[in-house]
Structure 1
Amino acid sequence: MPVSETAATAAVIRSRRVVLPDGERPADVVVRDGRIERVVAHGSAVPSDARLTDLGDTALLPGLVDTHVHVNEPGRTEWEGFATATRAAAAGGVTTIVDMPLNSVPPTTTLAGLEAKRKTAEGQAWVDLGFWGGAVPGNTGDLAALHEAGVFGFKSFLAPSGVDEFPHLATEQDLESALAEQARLGALAIIHAEDPAVLDAAPQRPGVHYRDFLASRPDDAEAAAVARLLDTARRTGARVHILHVSSAAVLPLLRQARADGGEVTAETCPHYLTLTAEQVPDGDTAFKCCPPIRSEANRDALWAALAAGEFAAVVSDHSPSTPDLKLLERYGGSGDFAAAWGGIASLQVGLPAVWTEARRRGHALADVVRWMAAGPAALVGLTGRKGAIAAGCDADLVAFDPDAPFAVRAEELHHRNPVTPYAGRTLTGAVRTTWLRGRVVDTAGEPFGRQIGRPAAADR
């Protein structure tokens, strides 16, 4: 296996398990000048100017596309940063990320905020990197400039975000104005959907018991918010995407909206598909996120919806913080779920986590690629460039051993702080090599990821 960049501009990567858009089969992938030139029969003659890498039975996947990553830099770089996040992404087989507009200071709610992010990220990214904008009360006039500058769409919260500099759309007028402007622009609205009135009415019991935290973020909070959002989207004509669906109670609303002709998509996350409320130990706030990890029965319903094609993507919602903000007992914290920062750190282990559970349920690698590579690429308009092993696409590739077990050790992961709910778990499936535009990513070397923007509508 190669471990560093080669000087060759052409290469052939051969595997008996290449996951292509039409299924898995033996093949050779011919790469030239950073793009996939063609896919040919396994064992074909190698061009004279190309270097052969034969993976044997190790699978070759397209690089994953993760459209939900909180990098947090600038402003909260002690939580996470471009260098650490993208190094973790590359080690986990993720070759493109789209950064969320909040938890950084300034947030990406103005053109100046976007430029601050771009300047900070320059020269730090081990993978390709794009940005979401943010739609908050009072910044409707900023959305057009951000859209023109290439953000992939606009994130909003329907409940408090947890950081003061990114307020939620608290009134119906806030939401209507934001969605109407995004409809005018043809932009994608991506929404954190929890209803603050339902949250306020739920029992609030601080402490170490996960069941009390779960009761404070009930299914009804998601369902009520999604119902309100879909109604406003119908009136404004906005194209909306529901972020990090944790509750199966949302699924009938999405089905009805699609049946009625609404432009609505949704995503879920590895932690909702692989973890359950019943597994969360008291005081282990590494598991805290909002919306929360729910019951095993709920997880089964999410898997059924995923298998039926009801989710556009499976993405990480990687949202780390420092250990002190998680209030972890092993770091001397209180273990209070109500007071701890809510966010799951999982960018590097999302692929093996999902594959471990998917295989147990009878799914194939091609399914995981559809959920975690092709689907997210399509969501942000990158089909034909990212998320597939096909002629013309960027040669973003992953050598993945689907049978290799490994124990997750938080201190060995590349993200900035050694906290993850997967610590101590044994997962199946190991990333052996990651290529970005045909070059092997060496996380001990120099980063060469590029900043990318939303394609023009005519290019989609």
Structure 2
Amino acid sequence: MAEVERYDWIIRGGEVVTAAEVRKLDIGIRAGRIAALAETLPLELANHVLDAAGQLVLPGMIDMHVHLNEPNFGHWEGFATGSAALAAGGITAYADMPLNGNPPTVTRDAMKLKLALADGSSAVDYTIWGGLVPGNLDHLAELHEDGVIGFKAFMSNPGGEGEGRFREVDDATLFEGMKVIASLDSFVALHAESDEMTSRLHDEAAAEGRADAWAFIQARPVEAELEAVAKAIAMAEETGCKLHFVHISSADGVELIEEAKRRGTPVTVETCPHYLLLTDEDMVRLGPVAKCAPPLRGSDQVERLWAHLAEGRIDVVASDHSPSPFELKDMAGGRTFSQAWGGIAGAQSSLELMVGEALKRGIPLTRMAEVLSSGPAKRLSIYPRKGEIAVGFDADLAIIDPNASYTLREEDLLQRHKHSPYIGWEIPCRVEATLVRGQLVYSREAGLIQSGSGVMVRPAGAAVDA
């Protein structure tokens, strides 16, 4: 008689969120992958059992928009601290952006530097973005060969100083870059704001001596987002390049992108928890901790974004985790809001906030799993390896207690600089455990368990590198 295979883990009796339904199931894990889903599995065949009764079991969030700032800016946020926060937040894979490292990831040499630092440092799995900037068209193919997940570009000034900083693209660079990237069967991820409009409005505000939060908000209106989105869509339709719009802040932007989808344009749209949970008035009240570009919008836009999410018009929700040291956001020394570093550090709270709000609003958890897990996996071409709870997928799981409400404190955060616009919020649910490829990397009881076991995941369904 053949010997019955054992499971490394059985996750027992949780409310499991699959692509089709939420159902009480046991999950059997073997060799890092989901080997069985059943109403009951024989516990005597498990090397380890995790009791998930009364808890939600979701596919781990795939955060396709984080800034961990390596190399040479790990003092802002590095792979070790950033990925620890992600693990604590139920995030099992992420895509690291190219811009805040020094050098930015726009050449093969820069890519090698970043990969050397990520190897053995990340608690969860990761992918790497390349960049599209003026002067690097000849580097795009080699970056693609080295496994970048796609190419990030800015249509407006990303800020920062220094000769080697990440620069926005001019129209010619964007158009020619799209041609090259289409030939590679990759895609462009765009920060879509009109640089001409935002620069002029910022200059006008400065000339009037206005440097407060309202001046910043008014200098980056919804119209600047719409103008850039329309221009990029026209270029994509001309070149055949696949597009992904990052951190779209307005319902109007989602609607413009939806029109392009109906024409058959290969385009996806991402928004962020802060655009769904915070408003422009919060940015004024909280100050630079809530500063981001595009800025937070009015409550009418927030509610319309939720409607678009519920109805399937938003493909991805990602954190845009963009940390910095406290002093770059501190206004006590005379720094104005306009001078403060822009970027919201909220990755650790993203999954909890989105699940909690979905339960409150009656949005199906299957829909939330789409925008948080399977949607990012498909956009990054790492599906069907990652992104769902199904037999054969990596056992990337977030186990959440839907009734464990808590008040977020600075000391709860595992990121390097413990600022967040959500400190003091009552969060209605809590991550109890995070598994990556069947390894328990975090539990609320023990904290971070595995600090460097994450591996790079390559696009197009390629196997995870060991």
| TM range, smaller chain | over 0.9
Q: Which among 435, 454, 458 is matched to residue 453 of structure 1? A: 458
Q: 1:45 offset after TM fit, Å?
A: 2.3
Q: Deviations along 1:206-225, whole A, 9 cap, x unmatched?
A: 66743222101111110000
Distance 1:355 1:458 in 2: 30
Alignment of 1:288 onto 2:286 = no
Q: 1:21 offset after TM fit, Å?
A: 1.4
Alignment of 1:204 onto 2:205 = yes
User: Is the CA contact 2:7–2:28 (under 8 Å) kept in the aligned structure 1?
Assistant: no
Q: Deviations along 1:148-186, whole A, 9 cap, x unmatched?
A: 11111100001111135111112x211111111011111
Distance 2:454 2:463 in 1: 25
One-letter amino acid of the structure 1 residue matched with residue 205 of structure 2: Q
Q: Which among 132, 137, 140 is matched to residue 134 of structure 2? A: 137
Q: Which among 62, 65, 74 is matched to residue 65 of structure 1? A: 62
Q: Deviations along 1:36-75, whole A, 9 cap, x unmatched?
A: 012111x332353543222111111111101001000112
User: Is the CA contact 1:153–1:189 (under 8 Å) kept in the aligned structure 2?
Assistant: yes
Distance 2:13 2:211 in 1: 48
Distance 1:456 1:29 in 2: 23
Distance 1:416 1:166 in 2: 23
Q: Which among 49, 57, 63 is matched to residue 52 of structure 1? A: 49
Q: 1:333 offset after TM fit, Å?
A: 3.9
Q: Deviations along 1:6-58, whole A, 9 cap, x unmatched?
A: xx9611111241111111001010100111012111x3323535432221111
User: Is the CA contact 1:207–1:337 (under 8 Å) kept in the aligned structure 2?
Assistant: no
Distance 1:63 1:355 in 2: 12
Instruction: Write out aligned runs for 1:238-387 (5 A).
Output: 238-282=241-285, 284-326=287-329, 328-329=330-331, 332-334=332-334, 336-387=336-387
User: Is the CA contact 2:440–2:450 (under 8 Å) kept in the aligned structure 1?
Assistant: no
One-letter amino acid of the structure 2 residue matched with residue 184 of structure 1: S
User: Is the CA contact 1:210–1:283 (under 8 Å) kept in the aligned structure 2?
Assistant: no
Distance 1:132 1:10 in 2: 33
Tell me whether 46-55 or 264-273 shows the greater mean CA deviation.
46-55
The 3 A distance-change label for structure 1 pair 407 and 64 is same
Matched residue SS, 2:429: strand
Q: Deviations along 1:363-421, whole A, 9 cap, x unmatched?
A: 13222211111111111012221111111111111110112211111233011101111
Instruction: State the Cα RMSD in Å.
Output: 1.9
Distance 2:133 2:44 in 1: 53
Tell me whether 254-263 or 147-156 shows the greater mean CA deviation.
254-263
Instruction: Write out aligned runs for 1:181-196 (5 A).
Output: 181-196=180-195
User: Is the CA contact 2:283–2:291 (under 8 Å) kept in the aligned structure 1?
Assistant: no
Question: Any unmatched runs of 5+ in structure 2?
Answer: 1-5, 443-447
User: Is the CA contact 2:67–2:320 (under 8 Å) kept in the aligned structure 1?
Assistant: yes
Calculate the TM-score normalised by the size of structure 2: 0.92
Matched residue SS, 2:384: coil
User: Is the CA contact 1:100–1:133 (under 8 Å) kept in the aligned structure 2?
Assistant: yes
Distance 2:257 2:224 in 1: 15
Distance 2:243 2:429 in 1: 33
Distance 2:134 2:211 in 1: 35
The 3 A distance-change label for structure 1 pair 15 and 208 is farther
Instruction: Write out aligned runs for 1:164-175 (5 A).
Output: 164=161, 165-170=165-170, 172-175=171-174
One-letter amino acid of the structure 1 residue matched with residue 59 of structure 2: P
Tell me whether 246-255 or 418-427 shows the greater mean CA deviation.
246-255
Q: 1:233 offset after TM fit, Å?
A: 0.9
Q: 1:120 offset after TM fit, Å?
A: 1.0
Q: 1:440 offset after TM fit, Å?
A: 0.8
Matched residue SS, 1:73: coil
Tell me whether 252-261 or 81-90 shows the greater mean CA deviation.
252-261
User: Is the CA contact 2:408–2:424 (under 8 Å) kept in the aligned structure 1?
Assistant: yes
Q: 1:282 offset after TM fit, Å?
A: 4.1
Distance 1:52 1:179 in 2: 49
Q: Deviations along 1:291-322, whole A, 9 cap, x unmatched?
A: 01111101011111111211110000000011
User: Is the CA contact 1:209–1:283 (under 8 Å) kept in the aligned structure 2?
Assistant: no
Tell me whether 249-258 or 150-159 shows the greater mean CA deviation.
249-258
User: Is the CA contact 2:155–2:193 (under 8 Å) kept in the aligned structure 1?
Assistant: yes
Partner of 2:159: 162
Distance 1:445 1:154 in 2: 30
The 3 A distance-change label for structure 1 pair 436 and 251 is closer
Partner of 2:8: 10
Distance 2:191 2:11 in 1: 40
User: Is the CA contact 1:406–1:428 (under 8 Å) kept in the aligned structure 2?
Assistant: yes
Distance 2:253 2:115 in 1: 35
Alignment of 1:84 onto 2:50 = no
Tell me whether 128-137 or 47-56 shows the greater mean CA deviation.
47-56
Q: Deviations along 1:230-268, whole A, 9 cap, x unmatched?
A: 111111111111110002221232122112211111100
User: Is the CA contact 1:209–1:282 (under 8 Å) kept in the aligned structure 2?
Assistant: no
Q: Which among 33, 36, 58 is matched to residue 34 of structure 2? A: 36
Calculate the TM-score normalised by the size of structure 1: 0.93
Distance 1:458 1:407 in 2: 40
User: Is the CA contact 1:283–1:334 (under 8 Å) kept in the aligned structure 2?
Assistant: no
The number of equivalent residue pairs is 447
One-letter amino acid of the structure 2 residue matched with residue 447 of structure 1: G
The 3 A distance-change label for structure 1 pair 117 and 107 is same
The 3 A distance-change label for structure 1 pair 335 and 352 is farther
User: Is the CA contact 2:254–2:269 (under 8 Å) kept in the aligned structure 1?
Assistant: no
Matched residue SS, 1:107: coil
Percentage of matched positions with identical amino acids: 38
Partner of 1:3: none
One-letter amino acid of the structure 1 residue matched with residue 369 of structure 2: V
One-letter amino acid of the structure 1 residue matched with residue 13 of structure 2: S
Alignment of 1:225 onto 2:225 = no
